[in-house]
Amino acid sequence: MKGLIQKDFYVMRERIRPINYVFIALIALAVIIYFQSVGAMYVAIFLPLLLVDIPKTIMVYDTQCKWDKMAIALPTTRKTIITSRYLFFMIIAIVMSIISFCLCTVSTLFYVELTFDLCVKFSLAGFALSLFYGLLTIPTNYLMGANGGSFTMIFSVMMLLAVAFVLKKANVDLTSLALWFVNHAIIIGAVILVIMGAISYKLSVYFYTKIHS
Amino acid sequence: MTDNILEVKNLTKDYGDFVLDKLSFTVPRGVIMGLIGENGAGKSTTINCILNEITMSDGEVAIFGKDNISEEVFIKNKIGIIFDENHFPDILTPVELGKCMAGIYSNWQCSEYQNYLTQFELPLKKKIKDFSRGMKVKLAFAVALSHEAELLILDEATSGLDPVIRDDILDILIDFVQDENHSVLFSTHITSDLEKVADYVTFIHNGKLIFSYSKDEIIDNYGVIICGSAIFEKMDKSEIIAFRKQDFQYKALVRNRHKAEKSYPKAIVEPANIDDIMLFYIKGETK
C-alpha cells in the first residue's frame, strides 16, 4: 500500500510541472489581495478544488504506461490498489485544504471582517467540495478512462441545474434554505460524503475488477 | 514443501472466439520450464490466469501448494515477473522504483536491488523512459530478483533483444535455478533459448496442451524422417505426428525416431529440435 501511494506521489511530481503550483499560488494571492476578505474565502473554498484533478492525471498516466498490469502482478489485491488511490486523493485534499486554511487565517490579520471562525467554515466547505468532486471523478475515471473527468464535470453541472430547477418549481425560499444549510452544513456534508465515499469506493472496486479480469 | 512449485489443473479460459482448453501441467522445483507456442496460442493467457490478472473460466492453479486466488498476496510476494515490455512508470528512476517496491514487497532486499543495478550496469538516476529495451528488461530482472522470489515468470521477456543481452538473461536464469527450490516458467517463441536452458518444455497450440515433457525426452525421442514418396506411402501413418511435402520429398515428424530408424533404414532420420516440432504441429498436415 505504502509503495503504491509513494508511486502516485512520484508520478504527480513528474506529471505536474512546478510552474503550475507557482501559477496557482500567484492566482490565490492575487484573488486575496484584490477581493480582500471575500477573496480569502474564495481561496479557502476553491483552492483544494484546483488540485483534485491530480488523481485523474495519474490514472490516465497509469493507463498509458500499462501500470495496472504490473500492479496486479505485485503482492497486492485489486481492493488495495483502489484503497491506495483513495488514500492518495484524501492526502492531496487534506494538504490543499490545510494550505488554503492557512492562507485564509493569515488573511484575517489584514482584513478585520474575516474571522478565524469563517476561515474554518470555508476551509471545511472547500474540503467537502473537493471530496465531492474527487469521489465522483475516481470511479468515472475507472469506468471511462480519460473521459471520466469531463463526464464528472457535466454530471456535476447537470445535478446543480436539476436541484435549482426543482427548488424553483417548488417555490422554496432560497435564502432561508441557504441559511439552514449553512447552519447544518457540517452534519449534512459529513453524512453525504460518507455515503458518497462508500458508493464511490464500491463502484471503483467493481469497475477496476471488471476491467482487469 | 511441495515438490511442484506450480500446478495447473484443467485451466480453462473462454473468450468466445478463443478457448484455453483444460490445460494441465506442473513445474517442479529447481527447473526451468519453457512455455512455447505460436502467437495467439494461449501462452500469455495461461500466464495471466496463473497471476490472476484475468479470471479463469474453470480449473485450478496452485503455486507453492496454495491457491493462486485466495492466497494471492502471499504467493505474489514470492514470484518475480518479467513481462514482454516495461510496465513500470517510465518517469521513475531505478532508485525511486526501488523505494516504491520496498513499500509493496514484504521481503524487499534493498542491498540486493542495489547490487543487481550495479551488476547490470543500470544508471541509478536516469529515468526508465530513457533506457534501452535491454536495460528495461534488466531492470525488471533486478526487481524480480530482489524480493526472495522462488518462482520467476517470464512472458516473452526476451523477444526483441539482441543475442548478447539474451545470453546475459539466460545466465541469470541458470544462476537462479542453482537453488533447487527456485523455478522458472519461461514463455517464449525463441526456441533456441529454450534449447540452451530449459529442463522441461510445455507446448500449447490453439489453446490446447500438445505436450509437457522434459527437454531431453523431446530431443532424444522426437525425429524428422526425410524420404521420398515411395517410402512415405508405405509408412505406418499412426507413427507420424505430422508431415510436410517439400518439392520431391516428404518430411515427417515422429515421436520415436529410434524405432523409425530401424523401420525405415532407407530414409534419413534426424533428431528434431524444438523449432521443428513446433513447425510440424502448427503447419504440418496430419492426414
- From chain A, which residues contact B within 8 Å (Cβ)? 1-7, 10-11, 14-15, 61-62, 65-67, 69-70, 72-77, 212-213
CA atoms of B93 and B81, how far apart (whole Å): 19
Nearest CA in chain A to B144: A74
C-alpha cell at A120: 474554518
- Please check whether residue B113 touches A, CB under 8 A: no
Could you report the per-residue pLDDT of B147-158, keeping only the tens digit for each?
Answer: 999 999 999 888
Task: Give the count of domains, chain A.
Answer: 1
Q: How many CB atoms lie within 10 A of CB A100?
A: 28
Residue A176 pLDDT exceeds 90: no
Residues of B in contact with A73 (CB under 8 A): 51, 53, 76, 79, 81, 83
- Minimal Cα–Cα distance from B228 to chain A, Å? 51
Average pLDDT, integer, range A54-70: 88
Cell numbers 501559477 correspond to what residue? A23
Q: How confident is the model at residue B276 (pLDDT cuts 50, 70, 90)?
A: confident
pLDDT of residue B1: 58
Element (H or E) spanning B223, and its range? strand B223-227
Residue A31 has pLDDT above 80, yes or no: yes
What strands lie across the sheet with B240-246, from one edge to the other? B240-246, B249-254, B223-227, B268-271
pLDDT score of A150 more than 80: no
Neighboring chain A residues of B86 at a CB cutoff of 8 Å: 65
By C-alpha distance, the chain A residue nearest B88 is: A67
Q: Which of B72, B88, B103 sits opposite A77 (nearest CB)?
A: B72
- Dihedral Cα B224, B230, B236, B239, nearest 10 deg: 10
pLDDT band at A90 (very low <50, low <70, confident <90, very high): very high
> Which residue of A57, A74, A83, A84 to mutate against B (max B Cβ within 10 Å)?
A74
Higher pLDDT, A165 or A79: A79
Q: Are B143 and B137 in contact (CB under 8 A)?
A: no
pLDDT tens digits, A183-196: 777 788 888 889 99
What pLDDT score was predicted for residue B287? 64
* Interface confidence (ipTM) of the complex: 0.84
Search chain A and give the residue with CA nearest B81. A73
For residue B92, which residues of chain A lie inside 8 Å, CB to CB? 7, 10-11, 14
State whether B90 and A65 contact (CB < 8 Å).
yes
Q: Residue A122 corresponds to which amino acid?
A: F
Please state the rounded mean pLDDT for residues A124-151: 83
Q: What's the residue count for chain B? A: 287
B7-49: pLDDT as tens digits: 999 999 999 889 998 999 999 999 999 999 988 889 999 999 9
Q: How many CB atoms lie within 10 A of CB B127?
A: 15
Distance from CA of B113 to the nearest CA of A (A): 16
Which residues fall within 8 angstroms of residue A12, CB to CB, at 6 or more apart? Answer: A54, A57, A58, A92
B87·A65 Cβ contact <8 A: yes
Of the candidates B85, B86, B104, the beta carbon closest to that of A76 is on B104
CB atoms under 10 Å from CB of A158, counted, come to 10
Mean pLDDT rounded to a whole number for chain B = 90
- Name the band, by pLDDT with cuts 50, 70 and 90, for residue B2: low
Please provide the average confidence, as pLDDT, over all residues in chain A.
Answer: 85
Minimal CA separation from A71 to chain B, in Å: 9
Which residues, in sequence order, are CB contacts of B272 under 8 Å at separation 6+?
A: B218, B219, B222, B223, B224, B253, B257, B280
Q: Are A52 and A92 in contact (CB under 8 A)?
A: yes
Residue B237: other Cβ atoms inside 10 A: 11
Contacts of A69 in chain B (CB under 8 A): 53, 83, 87
Spatial distance between the Cα atoms of A119 and A105, rounded to a whole number of angstroms = 6
CB B23 within 8 A of CB B42: yes
pLDDT at residue number A182: 65
Q: Is A90 strand, coil or helix?
A: helix
**For residue B200, what pLDDT band results from cuts at 50, 70 and 90?**
very high
Residue A178 has pLDDT above 70, yes or no: no
Instruction: Give A149 or A126, the one with higher predicted confidence.
Output: A126
| pLDDT(B238) > 90 | no
- What is the average pLDDT across B69-73? 92
Tell me the mean pLDDT in the region A76-104.
91
Which residue in the block uniquely carries the three cell numbers 480569502?
A40
Residue to mutate among B77, B92, B100, with most A CBs inside 10 A, is: B100
Q: What is the pLDDT of residues B85-95, one digit of tens each?
A: 999 999 999 99
Give the per-residue pLDDT at A174.
Answer: 67
Answering whether pTM is above 0.90, one says no
* pLDDT higher than threshold 80 for residue B187: yes
Q: Between β-strands B223-227 and B32-36, what pairing exists: parallel, antiparallel or unpaired?
A: unpaired
B117: pLDDT strictly greater than 90? yes
Mutate to test the interface with A, among B66, B83, B104 (most CBs of A within 10 A): B104
Which chain B residues touch A76 with a CB distance below 8 Å? 73, 76, 104
Instruction: Specify whether the CB–CB gap between B276 and B253 falls below 8 A.
Output: yes
Q: What's the pLDDT at B185? A: 95
Percent of chain B with pLDDT over 70: 99
User: Residue A189's domain spans which residues?
Assistant: 2-211
